Amino acid sequence: MGEISIFLWDDRKVNINAGVTFYELIKQFDSRLAQEALAVNINGVKKDLLEKPQDQDKIEVITYQSEEGKEIFFHSSSHIMAQAVQELYPGTKIAIGPAIEEGFYYDFDSEHTFSPEDFPLIEKKMKELIKRNLAFQKKTLPKEEAIDLFRERKEVYKVELLQEISDNLVTIYQQGDFVDLCRGPHIPSTKRIKAFKLLSVAGAYWHGDEKNKMLQRIYGISFDSKNALEKYLHLLEEAKRRDHRKIGKELDLFSFHEEGVGFPFFHPKGMIIRNLLEDYWREEHRKRGYQEIKTPIILNKALWVQSGHWDHYQENMYFTKIDDEDFAVKPMNCPGGILVYKSRLHSYKELPLRIAELGLVHRHELSGVLHGLFRVRSFTQDDAHLYMMPSQIKEEIQNLIEFEGFFYRTFGFEYDIELSTKPENAMGSNEVWDRAITNLKDALDSKGIVYKINEGDGAFYGPKIDFHLKDCLGRKWQCGTIQLDFLMPENFDLYYINAQGEKERPVMVHRTIMGSLERFIGILIEQFAGALPAWLAPIQVKLLPIAERHIEYGRKLGKILSEQNIRVELDENNEKIGAKIRKAEIQKIPYMLIFGDQEVDKKTVNIRKRSEGDTGDAPLEQFIEEINREIKLKSLPNAG
């Protein structure tokens, strides 16, 4: 067998035997790396380790530490889980089993109804399959031959998928007796999976269409070490402790009801948080020259046809009829905002024109994906729409990036930035999209901002910059977005009068910071485990009299604090002081002021701070000065 020349991962050019596999090649030059390798990247194409290199290949080794490595690892784990399920529950049919951001899932059509009680048995079988060290064997078949293979195995969902594929040749993967339709690549063998855990089971419609059969989706996650799994399970427990749905109920902030599935009900204490966030949002927008508007919730179908939502977003919208005409409940605020812009003539001297709206929108979400405040059917979007001349794009985008960062830092969030490009169902030409993407890249690059390209995830009318917040558990939440739009101004014939007195088309930017006010509140609750900063806490001070005879002093304290706009409650219950303190701690109240005979005589209070415990006696005036400073500075507590 002859030799070929290839380039190693460290750019060395070497000659090797033409018949070796990628795994054998890596092992030859770095035995430790070979044990970590999951696949290889050859000129942008991911390949299995059991495949063979070609002359002049540049080898990049994929390990678990990379995003693409985790994807391959998770996807291979889903195949192992599917094999285990089919061995345990004969007759179960498999649908799809992809990797997801955190783990994997597989959809099953089975006579058996799966529940978490089944997980230990499935996990035991998976461990057996991993121990067998089964190779992931790739085979390329003509499509018709693959259809015959899966038809013989009675895998109706695989047959349907194959019938939808236009390729004449397809790939399948086999480990042991298990066969799956898959592009790959996969890890070399099952033994590479060192640790895993099945997490949950849910219903999922085939092809995501509620007209199709409901399948059973089992979720799991896997790791390259048992230590990594233990850390993850600890984070899961911590996430349960911080679950905003549980805390929201305990703190009486919001609720959900069968009479309005997916529509949140905010209670008085929850409304305090909402109003404070809105007040802060308005204050910061006023400083930056924004004007606020309010547009209707229901608007005529013709508007949504003109905006493109009717063709590109209809499945997510709610509809009604008024005077025999079709209307839609708005899923987005922009078309209404555009009508405000069109209501009068604009001069170039007004631009950039910054218009903001806290607009209530409704979007139809399938019941299976609803999740507390994180995924609802009605929410308030903190929108802004900016109209500008093309020459103003770069500066305005950079100002917006700085504004978003300032807002997030108020709450102690770190964040990553992604640039999302043209999706499949986009409006407009490639030329328009390329121009918009170039403008966003220029704004980011000239400020030296690090960002990731997220191909195909832009809005249907334009590319966008997305902000992904990182919470104290390392989880990421997509919140803010800056969307550059050349198309809506065209669709709605928007213009301004330029310096020459002629009509000219403005550029439009759609922007949110919190994204959804409801979702942002949920994120804050989990970030602080309900122990919100003092400026946001529904009750900032709890007054705790030691005995009934001290209640009157407490009422006087409450009146003084209320006059200082400090939110205060007096506990008049006939309980021991220890019980009162425990109740206030459960309610996550930032400050407790405790007083008995000594404090009444000295006209002081004993201060107990949520994060520090008792801090000693002080005159009320001193406490008021300290808490007002904390509120003004929007100081952050520990993240719970």
Residues belonging to the active site: 334, 363, 381, 383, 385, 464, 510
Structure tokens at 593: 């002021």
CA distance readout (Å), 626 to 122, 604, 622, 629: 57, 14, 6, 5
Strands 298-300 and 325-329: what pairing?
antiparallel
Q: Which of 549, 629, 552 is nearest to 591 (CA)?
A: 629
CA distance readout (Å), 316 to 21, 107, 330, 364, 484: 49, 24, 10, 5, 22
How would you class 396 by CB atoms within 10 Å of its CB: exposed for 0-12, middle for 13-18, buried for 19 or more? buried
The SS3 call for residue 455 is: coil
For 251-320, the DSSP string reads TT-EE--GGGTT--EE-HHHHHHHHHHHHHHHHHHHHTT-EE----SEEEHHHHHHHTHHHHSGGG-EEE
Q: Residue 90: is the preceding peptide bond cis (ω within 30°)?
A: no
Radius of gyration of the chain measured on its C-alpha atoms: 30
Q: Which helix H or strand E contains 250, and what residues bound it? A: helix 244-250
What is the distance between the alpha carbons of residues 317 and 307, in angstroms, rounded to a whole number? 14
Unique residue bearing structure tokens 């990797």: 99
What is the distance between the alpha carbons of residues 459 and 444, in angstroms, rounded to a whole number? 19
Unique residue bearing structure tokens 């192992």: 80
Q: Which helix H or strand E contains 415, and what residues bound it? A: strand 414-420
The SS3 call for residue 95 is: coil
Amino acid letter for position 57: D
What is the distance between the alpha carbons of residues 384 and 510, in angstroms, rounded to a whole number? 6
What is the distance between the alpha carbons of residues 193 and 226, in angstroms, rounded to a whole number? 10
Angle between helices 551-563 and 620-633 (to 10 degrees): 40
What is the distance between the alpha carbons of residues 481 and 478, in angstroms, rounded to a whole number? 8
What is the distance between the alpha carbons of residues 404 and 479, in angstroms, rounded to a whole number? 10
What is the distance between the alpha carbons of residues 239 and 344, in angstroms, rounded to a whole number? 50
Q: Which of 199, 226, 218 is nearest to 78 (CA)?
A: 218
Contact call for residues 188 and 175 (beta carbons, < 8 A)? no
Q: Where are the alpha helices (DSSP H) in 411-537?
A: 430-446, 487-491, 517-527
Contact call for residues 378 and 329 (beta carbons, < 8 A)? no
